[in-house]
Each structure stands twice: as C-alpha cells, then as structure tokens.
Amino acid sequence: MIRKIFSLLLGATVLVPSFAFAASDSMMMENDSMMSGEHMGMMMTHGLDASCGSLRKLSTDEKAQMLTDIGHNMDAGALRQVYRCLFTGAAKKRIARITDNALKLDPKKPEMVYYIPSTQQFFVTCTGMKTVAYVVQGKDVTNPKQYFEKHHSEFAESATMARMMFEDMMKTQMMK
C-alpha cells in the first residue's frame, strides 16, 4: 500500500521497486531477525536455499516474489539460483549491457539487465556480489529493449535506492 501511495505522489509512471520498502511478509514471518551470518549479515530471502528442483516447481507468482525479495535483500550468490533454477533458458532475456553508472551499483563493473516475459520484471545484476541489484516491474511491455530505454529514469531511481540500501547495510555491518 505504501508503494502505491508513493507511486501516486511521484506520478503514475514511476516504478517503485519493492526493495525500497519493507521485506516481504513471508520473509518477515520466517526470519524474525532478518539477518543471516552466511550472507555477510545481509538479509536472506526465504526459500532461496531450497533445492533447484523445488525452486523450478514454484508458481510464476512465487518466482516473481522471490526475485523481488532477492533484489530487496541483495543475497550474495543468488544469481546462480536465478539463472539455473528460477528462470532458466528462454524464461529470461538479456536486454542490455549496462555501463551507465546511474543504473548500476559498482561504477567499475559493467552489469546486465534481463527481462522475464512471464512476470514482466526487469532485473539488473550486481556481479561483485553475484546477486540481483534491483528489480523493476514492467507494465504492458511489448518490446523489452525499447521499454528499458524509454524508462531509463525509473531504472536510475531504482539503482539510487539500491545503492542507498546497500550503503546502509554496509554501515550496519561495520557497527557490529
């Protein structure tokens, strides 16, 4: 609900990623502390440690939610499960190689943007952590590459929020 209100305040075309707000309810219920020592103190997406076979059997909606949660939590090493288990082969399309620093977390590394037709989600990689940097929910996507180019500002806003969250997580880790 907060996401919808925020979107209305900024304008109907602004895509506000889920990670900009609270983690999913399922993750909150399953992991009260929301921290996992296995992931450098980062949050752990509920169900990400399941077998590849189990992840493949998830519904489209469950896969979409898991991808959103991975983008929110920036689970280190999660790209392997995304590529091999959640969205294999033609289930995802590489749209572009990103060199624009406004669209990525690490200015020193190029990243990729992928599109998932079944969920109309775009995700940008963070190769340094082998994870999803952020997810942008598309709407009425007919040509993913054109959509990505046309909605550059929404991707840039998502990248900015992801950087801020990442910096906050790192500060929290350094305080421990």
Q: Provide the residue ranges of all domains of the chain, joining segments of one domain with +.
A: 15-175
Tokens encoding 89: 């082969």
pLDDT number for residue 175: 81
* Residue 35 to residue 115: CA distance in whole angstroms: 29
Distances (CA, A) of 102 to 76, 86, 93: 21, 27, 22
pLDDT number for residue 43: 54
Provide the whole-model pTM: 0.74
pLDDT number for residue 103: 96
From first to last of its 176 residues, the chain has per-residue pLDDT tens of: 333 333 333 333 333 344 333 333 333 333 332 333 344 444 589 899 999 999 999 999 999 999 999 999 889 999 999 999 999 888 899 999 999 999 999 899 999 999 999 999 999 999 999 999 999 999 999 999 999 999 999 999 999 999 998 888 778 778 87
User: Across-strand partners of 96?
Assistant: 113
Q: Tell me which residue has tokens 């509920």.
A: 46
Quick one: 151 exposed, middle or buried, by C-beta within 10 A (0-12, 13-18, 19+)? buried
Count Cβ atoms below 10 Å from residue 8 Cβ, excluding itself.
Answer: 10
Q: Tell me which residue has tokens 């998830």.
A: 58
pLDDT number for residue 80: 92
Residues near 141 by Cβ (< 8 Å), separated by ≥ 6? 115, 117, 120, 147
pLDDT number for residue 30: 37
